[in-house]
């Protein structure tokens, strides 16, 4: 088949969606590396620590016990019970095991929920900057992402007024992510309560709370999640979390969601006709993660905090960039408006954040992700989940590249 014939063969909803920009930048960086360039990748969102030993041991034991058969679609009962304990212990939320779905990462749980609930044209409010996959997953499910841009002036968070204005009779979901990828912003208890008040006035709108970065926070403020803050909302809230970020388990592919039984049942139907479930061995490892000691976590968080402080200070010192100190996750999200409209050494115009990210990659050999990928142009995202040596060198190179712009 020719390319055009193949293009015609593809589904409209797939043609309308974009591949993940973070993965694309990483691929471009890998390509340059293959060409012999020395490239530092700060475009990936994963901890660089090894998975803690007791979790690895639990996986080995599961292999030795020959836990190699299909599991229940929703996840093993042992894991769902461990998830129930996690939500009770950490968030004060009460669920039964049949209100839990385990998927191949939080990503699949989000995807299942959108597939299970969206009819063509249904709207999903996505406050941005937001994780690159939210709008695309909504599109793939036939829905319409309603992008609400939330800039530095509101610490990258949606306000009750913005939410009120975004809601229409077609709105199905509000997607909230705290701590946020890419801004690191965290919604306080009071901010969630104020958003909850708006939602209580609109009973047709449900909340998808993506708490995947819950454990990566740098101050002592207690963590808040919508179902806990506004209990009346729990019956229309899907609370999503997982082991990828908190336990350095991105490749194991285990995430989970908790919500009303009928929603979880519909999500299980979607999963039963796609992946069935995530790996049985990964599920055994996740039980050990959730029920096991957390003594490794302060070390992870301290290490991220030190890197954050160095990276943010380095970015703040670059003329043309602005950067707030992010309270959570492992990303910095500097504003780069001050560098747009400049020209590089060959006279090429740096018009957009994407031009700047590509310039930084080609000239400095550092891969970052433009803010427009997260639906908030005029910024870029730096992941500081990288080694200290790489970060110091990357900041030196970014500073040199930016100061060469005229
Ligand atoms: N949600 C957010 C906001 C993320 O940034 C990511 C990963 O980058 C995920 C969900 C997916 O996590 P998982 O590895 O559990 O699929």
pLDDT digits (tens, 9 = 90+) for 110-143: 999 999 999 999 999 999 999 999 999 999 999 9
Query: Is 106 touching ligand 1 by the criterion CB < 6 Å?
Result: yes
- pLDDT tops 80 at residue 40: yes
pLDDT of residue 45: 85
Whole-angstrom distance, CA of residue 263 vs CA of residue 391:
43
Fold classification of 64-291 (topology level): 3.40.640
Taking residues 242-249, report their average pLDDT. Answer: 97
Instruction: Report the distance separating Cα 139 and Cα 16, nearest Å.
Output: 7
Distance 213 CA to ligand 1 centre (A): 8
Does 3 have pLDDT greater than 80?
Answer: no
Is the pLDDT score of 11 beyond 70?
yes
Mean pLDDT value across residues 262-270: 98
pLDDT (0 to 100) of residue 25: 80
Q: How far apart are CA 44 and CA 56, in angstroms?
A: 23
Centre of ligand 1 to C-alpha 368, Å, is: 18
Q: For helices 105-117 and 261-272, give the axis angle rounded to 10 degrees.
A: 110
Strand partners, 124: 145, 173
Q: Give me the chain's average pLDDT, please.
A: 96
**Residue 9 and residue 6: Cα distance in Å, rounded?**
5
**CATH architecture classification, 10-50+297-403:** Alpha-Beta Complex (3.90)
pLDDT of residue 44: 84
**Residues 357 and 383: beta-carbon distance below 8 Å:** no
Whether residue 244 has its Cβ less than 6 Å from ligand 1 = yes
Structure tokens at 203: 């009973």
Are 353 and 379 spatial neighbours (Cβ–Cβ below 8 Å)? Answer: yes
Mean of the pLDDT values across residues 26-43? 91
Judged by DSSP in three states, 352 sits in: coil
Which residue puts its alpha carbon closest to atom 7 of ligand 1?
45
Q: Measuring CA to CA, how many Å separate 247 from each of 216, 294, 300?
A: 10, 9, 9
Looking at residue 2, what is its pLDDT?
Answer: 60
Average pLDDT over residues 147-171: 98
User: Higher confidence at residue 265 or residue 5?
Assistant: 265
182 lines ligand 1 (CB under 6 A): no
User: What's the pLDDT score for residue 1?
Assistant: 53
Q: Is residue 76 within 6 Å of ligand 1 at its C-beta?
A: no
Instruction: Write down the pLDDT at residue 109.
Output: 98
Q: Is the CB of 212 under 6 A from ligand 1?
A: yes
What does the pLDDT read at residue 13? 84
The arrangement of strands across the sheet holding 171-177 comes to 100-103, 255-258, 237-242, 206-210, 171-177, 123-128, 144-149
Atom of ligand 1 nearest to the CA of 46: 8
Query: In angstroms, rounded to a whole number, what is the distance separating the alpha carbons of residues 254 and 82?
Result: 13
In the chain, where are the structural domains located? Answer: 10-50+297-403, 64-291
State how far the Cα of 313 lies from the Cα of 310, in Å rounded to an integer.
5
CA–CA distances in Å: residue 95 to residues 107, 238, 264, 292, 313:
21, 11, 12, 20, 42
Ligand 1 pocket, mutate which of 129, 132, 133 (most atoms under 8 A from CB): 133
The mean pLDDT of 171-195, rounded to a whole number, is: 98
* C-alpha Rg value of the chain to the nearest Å: 21
Residues in the chain: 406
pLDDT in tens, 190-243: 999 999 999 999 999 999 999 999 999 999 889 999 999 999 999 999 999 999
Given the CA of residue 255, which atom of ligand 1 is nearest to it? 15
Percentage of the chain modeled with pLDDT above 70:
100
CA–CA gap between residue 7 and residue 163 (Å, rounded): 38
Residue nearest to atom 12 of ligand 1 (CA): 106
Looking at residue 21, its pLDDT comes to 72
Tell me, in angstroms, the distance from the centre of ligand 1 to residue 199's CA.
Answer: 25
Q: Which of 23, 129, 212, 255 to mutate to test the pocket of ligand 1 (most atoms within 8 A of CB)?
A: 212
Pocket of ligand 1 contains residue 183 by CB under 6 Å? no
To the nearest 10 degrees (0 to 180), the angle between helices 105-117 and 133-140 is 40
Distance 177 CA to ligand 1 centre (A): 10
Average pLDDT (57-83) is 98
103 C-beta closer than 6 A to ligand 1: no
DSSP class per residue in 104-164: SHHHHHHHHHHHHHPPTT-EEEEEES--THHHHHHHHTT-EEEEEE--GGGTT---HHHHH
Residue 210 CB–ligand 1 contact under 6 Å? yes
Other residues' Cβ atoms within 10 Å of the Cβ of residue 206? 22
């Amino acid at each position: 088949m020719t390319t055009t014939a193949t293009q015609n063969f593809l589904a409209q909803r797939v043609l309308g969606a974009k591949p993940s920009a973070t993965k694309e930048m990483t691929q471009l960086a890998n390509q340059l590396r293959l060409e012999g360039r020395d490239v530092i990748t700060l475009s990936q969102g994963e901890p660089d620590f090894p998975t803690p030993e007791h979790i690895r041991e639990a996986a080995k034991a599961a292999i030795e016990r020959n836990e190699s058969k299909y599991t229940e679609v929703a996840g093993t009962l042992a894991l769902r019970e461990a998830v129930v304990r996690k939500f009770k212990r950490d968030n004060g939320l009460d669920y039964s095991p049949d209100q839990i779905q385990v998927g191949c990462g939080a990503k699949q749980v989000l995807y299942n929920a959108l597939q299970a609930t969206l009819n063509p044209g249904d709207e999903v409010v996505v406050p941005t900057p937001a994780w690159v996959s939210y709008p695309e997953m909504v599109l793939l499910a036939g829905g319409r992402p309603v992008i609400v841009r939330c800039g530095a002036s509101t610490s990258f968070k949606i306000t009750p007024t913005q939410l009120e204005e975004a809601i229409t009779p077609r709105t199905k979901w509000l997607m909230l992510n705290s701590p946020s990828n890419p801004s690191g912003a965290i919604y306080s208890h009071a901010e969630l309560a104020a958003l909850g008040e708006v939602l209580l006035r609109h009973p047709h709108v449900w909340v998808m709370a993506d708490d995947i970065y819950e454990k990566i926070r740098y101050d002592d403020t207690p963590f808040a999640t919508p179902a806990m803050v506004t209990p009346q909302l729990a019956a229309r809230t899907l609370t999503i979390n997982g082991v990828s970020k908190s336990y350095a388990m991105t490749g194991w592919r285990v995430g989970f969601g908790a919500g009303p039984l009928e929603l979880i049942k519909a999500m299980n139907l979607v999963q039963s006709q796609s992946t069935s479930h995530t790996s049985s061995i990964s599920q055994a490892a996740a039980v050990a993660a959730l029920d096991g000691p957390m003594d490794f976590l302060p070390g992870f968080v301290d290490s991220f905090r030190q890197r954050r402080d160095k990276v943010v200070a380095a970015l703040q010192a670059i003329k043309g960039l602005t950067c707030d100190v992010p309270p959570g996750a492992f990303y910095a999200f500097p504003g780069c408006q001050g560098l747009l409209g400049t020209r590089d050494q060959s006279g090429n115009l740096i018009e957009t954040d994407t031009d700047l990210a590509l310039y930084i990659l080609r000239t400095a050999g550092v891969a970052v992700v433009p803010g427009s990928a997260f639906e908030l142009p005029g910024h870029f995202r730096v992941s500081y989940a990288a080694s200290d040596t790489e970060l110091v060198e990357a900041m030196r190179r970014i500073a040199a590249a930016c100061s060469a712009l005229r």
